Copies of this chain bind each other. A is one copy, B any other.
Amino acid sequence: MFADWPASDPAPASVAVPATDRRAARHAATRQEILDAAWAMARERGLGSLGMRELAAAVNMRAPSLYQYFGSKLEIYDAMFREGMGQALAAVGGEVDRRQGLDALRESGRRMVEFATSDPVRAQLLFQRTIPGFEPSPESYAPAVEMSGKVAALIKQVGITDPQAMDMFTALMSGLINQQLSNDPGGTRWIRLVDRVVDMFLAEMAPAT
């Protein structure tokens, strides 16, 4: 179920794909090389400081050649977003599917916070809207919708019927992530509050449980 967004996804419709399978595979491989280099560059010099010339140099190309693989710089961001959201879905949903009830909800919270804080640049791309002009395409955003559905199902599964529960839960996790990244990057000051916050949430939502 989570294999729908593999790292080596073929190119989107906006870029022409060569006819033969051989060429298509090579094209996809080069595309992935560029993406990997883009992640490395973004982590080194900041997400907003991606430069086409420098990115091209990192994969032994000149800048114009990149446009054979991506229609624009924003399309590179979109591909990164798609990749990152797929990872988020896998990280939060995968293990959680094998647990039940409160344990699963607690684990999903832990994984959400750990996933987001373990890669600040990825979190900036996925959860803040910070690149001028960039908005993820619906296809790239799809995993986020699926993940949201999974969390909603978890909440319902533990017997919480409060319609505000989902919004509160996402806000709590988002707050921990935000503070951790903003005020203690690389540390654990807010990460270690996750279990306590989830328990606080449960006490508010399902006092009987």
Binding site for B on A (CB under 8 A): 46, 48-49, 124, 127-133, 164, 167-168, 170-176, 178-179, 182, 189-190, 193, 196-197, 200-201, 203-204
Contact = CB atoms under 8 A, between A and B. Distances in A.
Contacts of A174: 174-175, 178-179, 182
Contact of A204 (B124, B171, B182, B200): B200
Given A48-B130, A49-B132, A171 B179 contact: yes
A128 B130 contact: yes
Count the copies: 2
B182 A167 contact: no
A125 to B, nearest CB: 11
A197 B179 contact: no
Contacts of A127: 178, 182
Contacts of A168: 193, 196-197
Contact of A172 (B164, B175, B203): B175
A179 B171 CA distance: 6
Contacts of A196: 164, 168, 204
Considering the complex of A and B, which 10 residue pairs feature the smallest CB-CB distances, nearest first? A175-B175, A171-B175, A48-B132, A130-B130, A174-B175, A200-B204, A171-B179, A174-B178, A49-B132, A171-B176
